Structure 1
Amino acid sequence: MRVPVSWLLEHVDVSDLDEEITAEQLADAFVRIGLEVEEVQPLGDITGPLVVGRVAEIEELTGFKKPIRYCQVETGDEVRGIVCGATNFVEGDLVPVALPGAVLPGGFAISARKTYGRVSEGMICSARELGLGEDHSGILVLESGVADPGDDAREFLGLDDTVIELAPTADRGYCFSVRGLARELACALEVPYGDPAVLDVPAAEGDAWPLTIEDPEGCRRFVFRRVTGVDPTAPTPWFIRRRLMLAGIRSISLAVDVTNYVMLEMGQPLHAFDAEKLTGDLTVRRAKAGEKLTTLDDVQRELDPDDIVICDETGPISLAGVMGGATTEIGEKTTDVLLEAANWHPPSIARMVRRHKLPSEASRRFERGVDPALPPAALERAARLLRQYGEGSIHPGRTDVGVPELPEPVTMPIDLPDRVAGVRYQRGVTARRLGQIGCRVEVGTTDDGTTIVTVVPPTWRSDLHQPADLVEEVLRLEGYDTIPSELPPAPPGRGLTEVQRRRRTVSRALAEAGYVEVLPFPFVSPATWDAFGLDGEDVRRDTVGLLNPLDAERDRLTTTLLPGLLDALARNVSRGQRDLALYHIGQVVLPRSEQVPVPELGVSRRPSDAEVATLLAALPQQPLHVAVVLAGHRERPGWWGPGREANWADAVQAARLAADAYGVELNVVTGDLPPWHPGRCAELRVGDWPVGHAGELHPKVVEALGLPKRTCAMELDLDALPLRERRPAPAISPYPPVLLDVALVVDREVPAAEVAAALRAGAGDLLEDVQLFDVYTGEQIGEGKRSLAYSLRMRAPDRTLTVAEATAARDAAVAAATERCGATLRG
Structure 2
Amino acid sequence: MKISLNWLKDYIAIDKSPEEISALLTQTGLEVEGVEEVESVKGGLKGLVIGEVLTCEKHPNADKLSVTTVDIGTGEPSPIVCGAPNVAAGQKVVVATVGATLYPSEGEAFTIKKAKIRGEASQGMICAEDEIGLGKSHDGILVLDTDMPNGTPAAEYFNLTSDFVFEIGLTPNRADGASHFGTARDLKAVLGIETTLPSVEDFKVDNTDKTIKVTVENTEACPRYTSISISDVTVTDSPEWLQTRLKAIGINPTNNVVDVTNYVLHSLGQPMHAFDADVAGNYVIVKNLPEGTKFTTLDEKERKLAATDLMICNEQEAMCIGGVFGGIKSGVTEKTKHVFLEVAYFSPDSIRKSAQQHQLKTDASFRYERGTDPNMTVYALKYAAMLIKQIAGGQISSEIDDIYPNPIGNFEVPVIYKHIDRLIGKAIGKERIHEILNGLDITIEKENEEGFTAIVPPYRVDVQREADVIEEVLRIYGYNNIALEDHLSSTFLSAFPKKDNDSLQLEVSRVLAGSGYNEIITNSLTKKQYAAETECINESEDVDILNSLSEDLNVMRQTLVFHGLEVISRNVKRKQTDLKLYEFGKTYHLIDGKYKERERLAIFLTGSTNSEHWQNKGRAVAYHDLAQTISQLLNKFGIAQYDSTEIKDDIFSYGLEISVRKKPLVRLGKISKKAGSLADVSQPVFYADIDWAFLRKIYPLNPEFEPLSKFPEVKRDLSLVIDKKTNFEDIRKVTFKLERQLITRMNVFDVYEGDKIEEGKKAYAMSFYLQDQEKTLTDKVIDKTMTRLMKGFERELGAIIRK
* TM bracket (short chain): 0.5 to 0.7
Contact residue 413 and residue 455 of structure 2 kept, 8 A: yes
Counterpart in 2 of 1:801?
Answer: 649
User: Does residue 1:467 correspond to 2:466, yes or no?
Assistant: yes
2: CA distance between counterparts of 1:212 and 1:422? 52
SS of equivalent residue, structure 1 residue 409: strand
CA 1:174–1:767: 2 relative to 1, 3 Å: closer
Summarize the alignment of residues 121-200 of structure 1 with structure 2, pairs less than 5 Å apart.
152=154, 156=158, 158-196=160-198
Q: CA deviation at 1:408?
A: 2.6
Match of 2:46 in 1: 48
2:247 maps to which residue?
245
> Could you say which residue in structure 2 is the equivalent of 1:436?
439
Q: Distance in 1 between matches of 2:424 and 2:582?
A: 65
- Flag the 1:111–1:820 CA change in 2: closer, same or farther, 3 A: same
- Per-residue deviation at 1:302? 1.3
Structure 1 residue 439, shift from structure 2 partner: 1.9
One-letter identity of the residue aligned with 1:103: T
The Cα shift of 1:3 comes to 2.0
Are the aligned partners of 1:438 and 1:457 in contact in 2 as well (CA < 8 Å)?
Answer: yes
The whole-number CA distance in structure 2 between the counterparts of 1:359 and 1:489 is 44
**Unmatched 5+ stretches in structure 1:** 15-19, 53-75, 83-95, 114-119, 131-138, 507-624, 627-654, 660-665, 669-681, 689-729, 732-741, 780-784, 822-827
What is the deviation of 1:442? 2.6
C-alpha distance in 2 between matches for 1:236 and 1:803: 93
1:225 aligns with 2:51: no
The worse-fitting range, judged by mean Cα deviation, of 242-251 and 281-290 is: 281-290
Distance apart, 1:393 and its partner CA: 0.5
Corresponding position of 1:483: 482
One-letter amino acid of the counterpart of residue 753, structure 1: L
Counterpart of 2:318 in 1: which secondary structure?
strand
Aligned to 2:555: none
Quick check: 1:110–1:122 contact (8 Å CA) kept in 2? Answer: no
Q: C-alpha distance in 1, partners of 2:477/2:465?
A: 19
Structure-to-structure mapping, 1:265-276, within 5 angstroms: 265-276=267-278
- Measured in 2, the distance between the counterparts of 1:168 and 1:767 equals 53
Q: Which of 376-385 and 212-221 deviates more?
A: 212-221
Look up the match of 1:37: 32
Equivalent residue letter for 1:801: D
Alpha-carbon distance, 1:466 to partner? 1.8
User: Structure 2: how far apart are the matches of 1:379 and 1:455?
Assistant: 29
Q: Distance in 2 between matches of 1:261 and 1:494?
A: 49
User: How far does the alpha carbon of each residue in 1:59-115 deviate from its partner, in whole angstroms, 9 at most, with x for none?
Assistant: xxxxxxxxxxxxxxxxx9999779xxxxxxxxxxxxx998985436999544599xx
Contact conserved, 2:520 with 2:581, CA < 8 A, in 1? no
Is 1:658 the equivalent of 2:521?
no
The answer on whether the counterparts of 1:667 and 1:684 sit within 8 Å (CA) in structure 2 is: no
| Contact 2:673 2:682 survives alignment (8 Å) | no
Structure 2 gaps of 5+ residues are 51-71, 73-79, 86-93, 115-124, 147-153, 523-557, 560-567, 588-598, 627-644, 655-669, 685-803
Quote how far apart the aligned CAs of 1:319 are: 1.0
- Structure-2 residue corresponding to 1:524: none
Counterpart of 1:409 in structure 2 is: 412
Please show how residues 346-425 of structure 1 align to structure 2 within 5 Å: 346-402=348-404, 403-414=406-417, 416-425=419-428
Supply the AA of the counterpart residue of 1:813.
G
Q: 1:747 to 1:103 in 2, by over 3 A?
A: farther
CA drift at 1:768: 8.8
Q: Deviations over 1:240-297 (max 9, x none)?
A: 1111000111111111011111111111111100001124422212231121111111
Return 331-340 or 453-462, whichever deviates more. 453-462
When residues 46 and 279 of structure 1 are mapped into structure 2, their CA distance, relative to the original with a 3 A threshold, is closer
1:262 aligns with 2:264: yes
Alignment of 1:16-27 (within 5 A): 20-27=15-22
Q: Could you tell me the TM-score, scaled by structure 2's length?
A: 0.56
Select which of 284, 294, 297 maps to 1:295: 297
Contact 1:287–1:307 (8 Å) recurs in 2: yes
| Alpha-carbon distance, 1:685 to partner | 3.7
The offset of 1:40, in angstroms, is 1.5
Say yes or no: does 1:750 pair with 2:749.
Answer: no
1:80–1:750: structure 2 CA closer, same or farther, 3 Å change rule? farther
SS at match of 2:166: strand
Q: Say what the alpha-carbon RMSD is for the aligned residues.
A: 5.2
Q: Sort the Cα spacing of 1:172 and 1:124 in 2 relative to 1 into closer, same or farther, 3 A.
A: farther
Q: 2:315, 2:601 → 1: CA distance?
A: 85
The one-letter code matched in structure 2 to 1:339 is: L
Residues in 2 aligned to 1:335 and 1:158: alpha-carbon distance in whole angstroms:
34
What aligned pairs does 1:105-116 form with structure 2 within 5 A after superposition? 109-110=110-111
The amino acid of 1:345's aligned partner reads: S
Percent identity over the alignment?
A: 26
Count of matched residue positions in the alignment of Structure 1 and Structure 2: 528
**Aligned in 2, Cα 1:756/1:405: closer, same or farther, shift over 3 Å?**
closer
- Cα distance in structure 2, aligned partners of 1:32 and 1:467: 21
State the partner residue of 1:687: 521
Cα separation, 2, equivalents of 1:771 and 1:366: 63
Residue deviations 1:411-451, cap 9 Å, x none? 22345423322322244112221111112223532xxxx34
- What is the aligned counterpart of 1:810 among 673, 676, 690? 673
Report if the CA contact (8 A) 1:288-1:305 is conserved: yes
In the alignment, what sits opposite 1:645?
A: none
Q: Return closer, same or farther for 1:217/1:800 CA change in 2, 3 Å cut-off.
A: same
- On the 8 A contact 1:770/1:790 being kept in 2, the answer is no
Matched residues in 1 for 2:373 and 2:165: separation?
Answer: 25
Of the structure 1 ranges 331-340 and 39-48, higher mean CA displacement relative to structure 2 is found in: 39-48
Q: CA deviation at 1:311?
A: 1.3
Q: Is contact 1:100–1:121 with CA below 8 Å preserved after alignment?
A: no
Alpha-carbon shift at residue 239 of structure 1 (Å): 1.5
Deviations 1:385-412 (A, max 9, x none): 1111112101241221124412232222
Separation of aligned partners in 1, 2:238 and 2:174: 31
Q: Which amino acid aligns with 1:810?
A: K
Q: Counterparts of 2:653 and 2:157 in 1: how far apart (Å)? A: 103
1:48 maps to amino acid = K
SS of equivalent residue, structure 1 residue 161: strand
Matched residue SS, 2:306: coil
For residues 415 and 213 of structure 1, the distance between their equivalents in structure 2, rounded to whole angstroms, comes to 46
| Conserved 8 A contact 1:409-1:457 | yes
**For 1:484-533, what per-residue CA distance to the aligned partner results, in whole angstroms no more than 9, with x for missing partners?**
2347547999964444x765x68xxxxxxxxxxxxxxxxxxxxxxxxxxx
TM-score by length of 1: 0.54
Q: Rg: which structure is higher? A: 2
Letter in 1 for 2:192: E
1:46–1:105 Cα contact (<8 Å) kept: no
Cα drift, residue 334 of structure 1: 0.9
Distance in 2 (alpha carbons) for counterparts of 1:804 and 1:426: 79
Contact 1:244–1:250 at 8 Å: present in 2 too?
yes
| Aligned pairs for 1:320-339 within 5 A | 320-339=322-341
Comparing 29-38 and 397-406, the one that deviates more: 397-406
Distance 1:419 1:281, change over 3 A: same
CA distance in 2, matches of 1:360, 1:309: 16
**What is the CA–CA distance in structure 2 between the aligned matches of 1:210 and 1:261, rounded to whole Å?**
27
Query: Are the equivalent residues in 1 in contact too, given 2:463–2:469 (CA < 8 A)?
Result: yes
1:366 deviation in Å? 0.8
AA partner of residue 576 (structure 2)? V
Alignment partner, residue 452 of structure 2 = 453
